[in-house]
Amino acid sequence: MKRILLLGLCALACAAQELRVYAIDVEGGKATLYVSPSGQSMLVDAGYQGFGNRDAGRIVAAAKAAGVTQIDYLVITHYHADHAGGVPQLAAKIPIRNFVDHGMNFESVKDNGEVYGNYVAARAQGTHIEVKAGDRIPIEGIDVQVVTASGKAISQPLPGAGKPNPRCADYQPIVPDHGENSHSIGMVIAFGKFRLADLGDLYWNQEYDLACPNNLLGAVDVYMTTHHAKKTSGAPALVQSLAPKAAIMNNGPKTGGAEAAWQTIYLSPGTPDIWQLHYALNNDAAHNAPDEFIANRSQDCTGNWIKLVAGQDGSFTIQNGRNQMEKVYR
């Protein structure tokens, strides 16, 4: 009995020293659950509305697997339907304490006004926190630094960053975006020596502000692909200066995962592993990850997630929810 008790205490202590991250499949939208070693949770975006509560159900399933009974901080990076649309359905299934966003809506085309209005109504159930670049989201146990919000980037480099970026010489802007993508909340999340970049749907031209002429973010261990790895985000000047060991791609079967964005990651220093939520049906095999790194192989799927567990020493493990294949990064 004594040995069993000690093993149980050890398991609790070990879990308390881990940051757990679930990249949840919301079919080409975004929903990423972070569980701090303190036990507090942060969900970044909530997928789509509709589909029989599909996305809200998948988020709640991930929360249950992580032992989470409430969302302490819901960060809505921007007000597009694939990021904020699922908030009302999610709020009906699990308590949400704090709603974090960039404030005003910068876009009125398509269904954006309705999505924003529904989100604001749901937001009234909790505490509203509006953030700007340079702020921190106060989840206990990890450091969540806001590096972009409302179209503005941090002006000073993060600790250890700020070196001149030689990749800026080849940078070319694209047609500007004045809507919500360019106003996305972007974050760098740190736990001890482990660092992860999660930049929402930040647009190519706004990525320049983080990367050029100096790299304001420095290197990271994991890159959560920006804008589902579409061709209007993922500028090489930024992505390759991050030099990640691994990238997790929140793509859908026919959404994101563009060949150019995939290739940019692949050509980053050290040739990082690319973990995909879906096989990219519009790409050839050379621009998809090996099968064991893909969580969902077909358009009709069960919503397998990709799970990351990080330690304070900077080591981390990524696991494929479909086949339980995992890889340890030292």
* Sequence-separated (6 or more) residues with CB below 8 Å from residue 246: 221, 222, 223, 272, 273, 274, 275, 318, 329
Please report whether residue 30 resides in a domain: yes
Whose CA is closest to 49, among 65, 64, 29, 34? 29
What is the distance, to the nearest Å, from the Cα of residue 216 to the centroid of all Cα atoms in its chain? 19
Using CA atoms, how far apart are residues 101 and 202, in angstroms rounded to an integer?
14
- Whether the CB-CB separation of 87 and 46 falls below 8 Å is answered with yes
Using CA atoms, how far apart are residues 276 and 290, in angstroms rounded to an integer?
9
Per-residue confidence band for 16, with pLDDT thresholds at 50, 70 and 90: low
Please report whether residue 14 resides in a domain: no
Instruction: Quickly list H helices, the chain.
Output: 2-16, 54-65, 81-84, 87-91, 112-123, 204-211, 236-242, 259-266
Whose CA is closest to 270, among 227, 232, 239? 239
Please report whether residue 13 resides in a domain: no
Number of domains in the chain: 1
* Sequence-separated (6 or more) residues with CB below 8 Å from residue 125: 91, 96
Write out pLDDT tens, residues 91-107. Answer: 999 999 999 999 999 99
11 pLDDT higher than 70:
no
Using CA atoms, how far apart are residues 310 and 328, in angstroms rounded to an integer?
10
Please report whether residue 8 resides in a domain: no
Please report whether residue 38 resides in a domain: yes
Strand partners, 327: 318
Write out pLDDT tens, residues 229-257. Answer: 999 999 999 999 999 999 999 999 999 99
Please report whether residue 153 resides in a domain: yes
Write out pLDDT tens, residues 177-188. Answer: 999 999 999 999
Domain with residue 285: its CATH number is 3.60.15.10
- Whether the CB-CB separation of 59 and 83 falls below 8 Å is answered with no
Per-residue confidence band for 258, with pLDDT thresholds at 50, 70 and 90: very high
Pairing of strands 186-191, 152-153: unpaired
Averaged over 174-200, what is the pLDDT? 97
Please report whether residue 5 resides in a domain: no
Task: Tally the residues of the chain.
Answer: 330
Using CA atoms, how far apart are residues 42 and 20, in angstroms rounded to an integer?
11
Please report whether residue 12 resides in a domain: no
Q: Is 246 exposed, middle or buried (0-12, 13-18, 19+ CB in 10 A)?
A: buried
CA angle 118, 120, 121 (to 5 degrees): 65
The enclosing H or E element of 177 equals: none
307 pLDDT higher than 70:
yes
Mean pLDDT taken over the chain:
94
Per-residue confidence band for 12, with pLDDT thresholds at 50, 70 and 90: very low
Structural domain boundaries enclosing 132 = 19-329
Secondary structure letter of residue 293 according to DSSP: G
Judged by DSSP in three states, 72 sits in: strand
Using CA atoms, how far apart are residues 280 and 260, in angstroms rounded to an integer?
13
pLDDT score of 116: 96
